[in-house]
Amino acid sequence: NAGVTQTPKFRILKIGQSMTLQCTQDMNHNYMYWYRQDPGMGLKLIYYSVGAGITDKGEVPNGYNVSRSTTEDFPLRLELAAPSQTSVYFCASTSLGGELFFGEGSRLTVL
């Protein structure tokens, strides 16, 4: 099993550009999450999903959108990128109420 796979690992965006961070998991987990981690800071929940077709906001959803059309995939869309969105983004998944498995992270810089 590959676990949780995120792409790209690194990306530089210009202010106002848009992009999608991809996340896929092969563990058949229903629950998937997107977190952002600013330098030297903790993990803030952006969006999460409890199953295909179901998504909900976390602590810091503004400026982001998600979709969950399949169990495996949970892409995160950034519209109109701003410098405040410079961060490391982690995707994670879990089965019912258990350990969160994280991807390796995607480092995004907005200039």
Partner 1 sequence: GENVEQHPSTLSVQEGDSAVIKCTYSDSASNYFPWYKQELGKRPQLIIDIRSNVGEKKDQRIAVTLNKTAKHFSLHITETQPEDSAVYFCAATGSGTYKYIFGTGTRLKVLA
Out of 12, 18, 38, 59, the only residue in the binding site for partner 1 (CB under 8 A) is: 59
Size of interface with partner 1, in residues (CB under 8 A):
24
DSSP letter at 36 equals: E
Closest CA to 31 of 100, 103, 86, 77: 100
Q: Of the two residues 56 and 79, which places its CB atom closer to partner 1 in the complex?
A: 56
> Could you tell me if 102 and 91 are in contact, meaning their C-beta atoms sit under 8 angstroms apart?
yes
Q: How far apart (Å, rounded) are the C-alpha atoms in residues 2 and 23?
A: 12
Q: Of the two residues 17 and 107, which places its CB atom closer to partner 1 in the complex?
A: 107
Which amino acid would we find at residue 14?
Answer: K
Out of 12, 15, 50, 111, the only residue in the binding site for partner 1 (CB under 8 A) is: 50
Which span (21-29, 44-52, 66-74, 77-85) binds partner 1, by CB under 8 A? 44-52
**What are phi and psi for residue 21, nearest 5 degrees?**
-90, 130
Q: How many other C-beta atoms lie within 10 A of the C-beta of residue 36?
A: 24
Interface of this chain with partner 1, residues 61 to 100, rule: CB under 8 A? 90, 92, 94, 97-100
Residue numbers at the binding site for partner 1 (CB under 8 A): 31, 33, 35, 41-45, 48, 50, 56, 58-59, 90, 92, 94, 97-100, 102-105
